[in-house]
Structure 1
Amino acid sequence: MRIRNFEELVANGLTDEDKEARRICLEVLDKVIEELDPRKMVFSKVRRTGSKLHIDRLTLDLDEFERVYLVGFGKASHLMAEAMEQLIGDKLTRGFINILKDVSFESLTGRVESKKVSHPIPDEEGLLGAKQILKLVSDASEKDLVICLISGGGSAMTPLPAEDITLKDKQRTTQALLKCGARIDEVNAVRKHISAFKGGQLARAAYPATVLSLIVSDVVGDPLEVIASGPTSPDPSTFKDAYEILRRYGIWESVPESVRRRIETGLRGEVEETPKPGDKVFEKVHNVIVGNNRLACHIAAEYAQKLGLNTLILSSVVEGEARHVGTVYGSILVEEALVDNPIEKPAVIIVGGETTVTVRGSGLGGRNQELVLSASRKIKGLRGVAIASLGTDGIDGPTDAAGAIADGKTVSRAEEKSLDPEKYLDDNDSYRFFKSLGDLVFTGPTGTNVTDITVMVALKTG
């Protein structure tokens, strides 16, 4: 089991019906985490026959390249690199990857170096690793192949600031963006314009080499320019966009002066923009999605169907404020429980995407925990229902939990402990709420990230 406290979470159900609904939620989520192994995703997309590498409809002959380089960054980089070394180890010249601090990596060929770095707040090690990656790809010539392994977290894990911006300044800017409730695409639009690495700048450094980027998407809808801030993708965002985002969220005056100066210089056209669509640096760049939230939802649906349950994927591109989305999900579950809509019970309803939390209180929590807390108010008193939501990376906000689970008795259990769900929701304190009930979901880092997945279950009750 990937969910470490699986049995305890099931046992928290007060009735057999609630226990069964919880078990199904957790089994489905556990299967998703198991199948989202980045190695499996790479092997499902990349095949090798002789010297030829087949990726979807693209074929690359490794014998046609003088040197083959491998670079990677993101939460899945160590596992993706392991898979690629198995596939092309005999042809590999050198490699360098930035990996999370709490994972281990040992190169199968001995030719791939790694550096442990911080996430979500960038650190000095990440900066040093980003410099190594940039130097490696800059050494590539027209006759070389650069394989980039890109996954969620890659942006924060390669924090190479633009000239005259310190890492501390970039950290302060990142923290301000994360706290104000900005969407990930907005966060990354700013990051690109205070970076020497992101927004197509890695592709610019690798030019004129051939570049193959294998990408695990952690962004709703899979926009290539947003995933890990699009280091090998054209960047449609501009300095003007970065300026307007900081203004819109009211943090322009609170970000460091060096960041404001860089953006103002860019607005005047005195600093080179990130490479745009049609730029020659992308002529030999191939970006391929190997895993995303849609895949996670389909894994969940297929497993639920094997359990003999009626299954519906509502969407894999949901965004919005976590507490509001949670209220909607709770309402859907009420409708399902009462009138078999949108599908007949026993039902599993699956939703993917990524919500945001605008922090107004002083509590501790994550978007999935807040979503489930919000939903728990709507499903109060229902029998044989459950909702669980987690981050597929095993990390939900600044906590050690992946997410949380609730059923129709969650609110009454809380009230018996003198816990007021509304108060905890208003204080953004979902972590402590669910910790008191023993309903936090723990997986530890999963080694992947395809945003979030929510599973709702409604069983037939007598």
Structure 2
Amino acid sequence: MSRERALAIWTAAVDAVRPEPLVRAALEVEPAIRSAPRILVVGAGKAGPGMAAGLEDALTDRLDRVEGLLNVPAGMTAPLKRIRLHPARPQGVNEPTAEGVAGAEEMLRLLQSAGPDDVAVCLLSGGGSALLPAPVEGVSLADKLAVTKLLHRCGATIDEMNCVRKHLSRVKGGRLAEAFRGKLLLALIVSDVVGDPLDVIASGPTAPDPTTFADALRVLRKYDLSTSAPSAVLHHLEAGARGEFPETLKSVPACVQNRVIGSNRVALDAAKRKAEELGYRVLDLGSFVEGETRHVATAVAGIVRSIKRDTAPIPAPACVLLGGETTVTLGAHAGKGGRNLEFVAALVAKLGAEMEGVTVLSGGTDGEDGPTDAAGAVADSATLAALAEQKITADDFVQRHDAYHLFERVGGLIRSGLTGTNVMDVRVILVR
């Protein structure tokens, strides 16, 4: 029963950030879009299909003026009436591809074709950075992918990775907005980044960028990548730091408006309402949770113990909620998993026998967790029994970053499929 309740709370969070109603509501108050001779639609992200469907629904009486495309994962390209959904990468592989480059280049050409009275709507959501690649001249897609992988393995933050990627791109760091010369460019954004910073979400294709070429070089030096990163990447960043290439956009034109319409905070608020409806006292730890996944799990284990033993900060029945996005620093021979799977495995390992009366669920709101077919996992005291029966320990799998195979063996994988949205992660811990 507790597993079902945890899943119901997580599902309520995901449902609250479905993109169709969010986009419809946002466009209802934009008269400039309805009067435009052309409505150009561009963008990228895992919520792209729902966002595009919401736009077409909102502009059903103006569809003859709508044209454009969005880069989305393969398998999410069901035909719409006017907007083409372009398959820019395979499902479960969060890496840029040549198909993504082709889509991004078509978007640049479309925006550059805008007349003075045309408007554009840019639909951005989680996964946009990988789905919207357009490397600068002299840097190949393979070069850009290689430096991104190096940064990920070193545990670089999303801010640091985006700083480097923006300075290797023709669309990120405000450059997509720079291509538009029409009347209004409205960016509607479903945020997958802690704090919802416009310059970081999808690497900020329509937002000003406070970072510089020098900052990007400092990121590589911080992680000792100055010799291992591709030479083309280093040469471009060094030339940019010398002023040989223009910087990313530092202010956007007056015609550009950026609006966040969905976020992790919205999802957590819905999760809280559902948990209270089910009879739980709620401790909401917020949407700003970052850090190494195992360290976050250790902190949450301490909160669970305090609830069970001291009835503090709240007594049982309790629901602890936390959002945000943590990091997993991989070793040389990592197994299969993601930050949500590892969080659940690490909490099981920390609590051990104290899992009695505790249910923990962690899932990516997009339905994906790392390179797996699972959104995350759920565990409870039955998980301990399965571990004992198979004579294995959760900690062994945590140390190998192999949590997917742990839950494949003992049960608990959440295979929701792609949800059509993405606002980072939602974790639900129930204590009775």
1:40 aligns with 2:21: yes
Deviation at 1:262, TM superposition (A): 0.5
Q: Kindly indicate whether the alpha-carbon contact (under 8 Å) linking 1:381 and 1:409 is maintained by their aligned counterparts in 2.
A: no
Alignment of 1:253-292 (within 5 A): 253-277=227-251, 281-292=252-263
Count of matched residue positions in the alignment of Structure 1 and Structure 2: 425
1:448 aligns with 2:429: no
Deviation at 1:284, TM superposition (A): 1.4
Structure 1 unaligned residues grouped into runs of 5+: 1-19, 48-53
Alignment CA distance shift 1:430-1:106 (3 Å): same
Deviation at 1:423, TM superposition (A): 2.0
Q: Distance in 1 between matches of 2:342 and 2:282?
A: 25
Q: Kindly indicate whether the alpha-carbon contact (under 8 Å) linking 1:380 and 1:410 is maintained by their aligned counterparts in 2.
A: no
Determine what percentage of the aligned residue pairs are the same residue: 41
329-338 or 160-169: which moved more? 329-338
What does the per-residue CA deviation read over 1:12-65, in whole Å, with 9 as the maximum and x for residues that have no partner?
xxxxxxxx3222211111222233221122234332xxxxxx1xxxx4333543
Paired AA for residue 365 in structure 1: G
Q: Distance in 1 between matches of 2:348 and 2:273?
A: 26
Alignment of 1:295-306 (within 5 A): 295-306=266-277
Paired AA for residue 366 in structure 1: G
Match of 2:334 among 362, 368, 373: 362
Q: Kindly indicate whether the alpha-carbon contact (under 8 Å) linking 1:150 and 1:216 is maintained by their aligned counterparts in 2.
A: yes
Q: Kindly indicate whether the alpha-carbon contact (under 8 Å) linking 1:297 and 1:453 is maintained by their aligned counterparts in 2.
A: yes
Secondary structure in structure 2 of the residue aligned to 1:132: helix
Partner of 1:421: 394
Q: Distance in 2 between matches of 1:391 and 1:180?
A: 22
Paired AA for residue 437 in structure 1: V
Q: Distance in 2 between matches of 1:63 and 1:418?
A: 64
Secondary structure in structure 1 of the residue aligned to 2:286: strand
Paired AA for residue 12 in structure 2: K
Structure 1 ranges of 4+ moved more than 6 A: none
Partner of 1:25: 6
Secondary structure in structure 1 of the residue aligned to 2:132: coil
1:374 aligns with 2:355: no
Paired AA for residue 458 in structure 1: V
1:183 aligns with 2:154: no
Q: Distance in 1 between matches of 2:247 and 2:415?
A: 42
Deviation at 1:160, TM superposition (A): 0.4
Q: Kindly indicate whether the alpha-carbon contact (under 8 Å) linking 2:77 and 2:86 is maintained by their aligned counterparts in 1.
A: no
Alignment of 1:56-455 (within 5 A): 59-62=30-33, 64-91=35-62, 92-108=65-81, 111-118=82-89, 119-277=93-251, 281-360=252-331, 361-382=333-354, 383-455=356-428
Q: Kindly indicate whether the alpha-carbon contact (under 8 Å) linking 2:383 and 2:411 is maintained by their aligned counterparts in 1.
A: no
What does the per-residue CA deviation read over 1:389-414, in whole Å, with 9 as the maximum and x for residues that have no partner?
01111111111111112224534531
Secondary structure in structure 2 of the residue aligned to 1:275: coil
Partner of 1:7: none
Q: Distance in 1 between matches of 2:378 and 2:84?
A: 39
Q: Kindly indicate whether the alpha-carbon contact (under 8 Å) linking 1:379 and 1:407 is maintained by their aligned counterparts in 2.
A: no
Alignment CA distance shift 1:45-1:330 (3 Å): farther
TM-score with structure 1 setting the length: 0.89
Secondary structure in structure 2 of the residue aligned to 1:195: coil
Q: Kindly indicate whether the alpha-carbon contact (under 8 Å) linking 1:21 and 1:384 is maintained by their aligned counterparts in 2.
A: no
Q: Distance in 2 between matches of 1:390 and 1:63?
A: 38
Q: Distance in 1 between matches of 2:422 and 2:241?
A: 34
Alignment CA distance shift 1:100-1:87 (3 Å): same
Q: Kindly indicate whether the alpha-carbon contact (under 8 Å) linking 1:21 and 1:458 is maintained by their aligned counterparts in 2.
A: no
Q: Kindly indicate whether the alpha-carbon contact (under 8 Å) linking 1:297 and 1:352 is maintained by their aligned counterparts in 2.
A: yes
TM-score with structure 2 setting the length: 0.95
Paired AA for residue 18 in structure 2: D
228-237 or 408-417: which moved more? 408-417
Q: Distance in 2 between matches of 1:410 and 1:337?
A: 19
Secondary structure in structure 1 of the residue aligned to 2:323: strand
Paired AA for residue 31 in structure 2: L
Q: Distance in 1 between matches of 2:77 and 2:182?
A: 33
Secondary structure in structure 2 of the residue aligned to 1:42: helix
Q: Distance in 1 between matches of 2:323 and 2:59?
A: 33
Secondary structure in structure 1 of the residue aligned to 2:77: coil
RMSD: 1.6
148-157 or 404-413: which moved more? 404-413
Paired AA for residue 160 in structure 2: E
Q: Distance in 1 between matches of 2:34 and 2:88?
A: 34
Deviation at 1:362, TM superposition (A): 2.3
Structure 2 unaligned residues grouped into runs of 5+: none
Secondary structure in structure 2 of the residue aligned to 1:172: helix
Q: Distance in 2 between matches of 1:433 and 1:250?
A: 33
Q: Kindly indicate whether the alpha-carbon contact (under 8 Å) linking 1:331 and 1:378 is maintained by their aligned counterparts in 2.
A: no
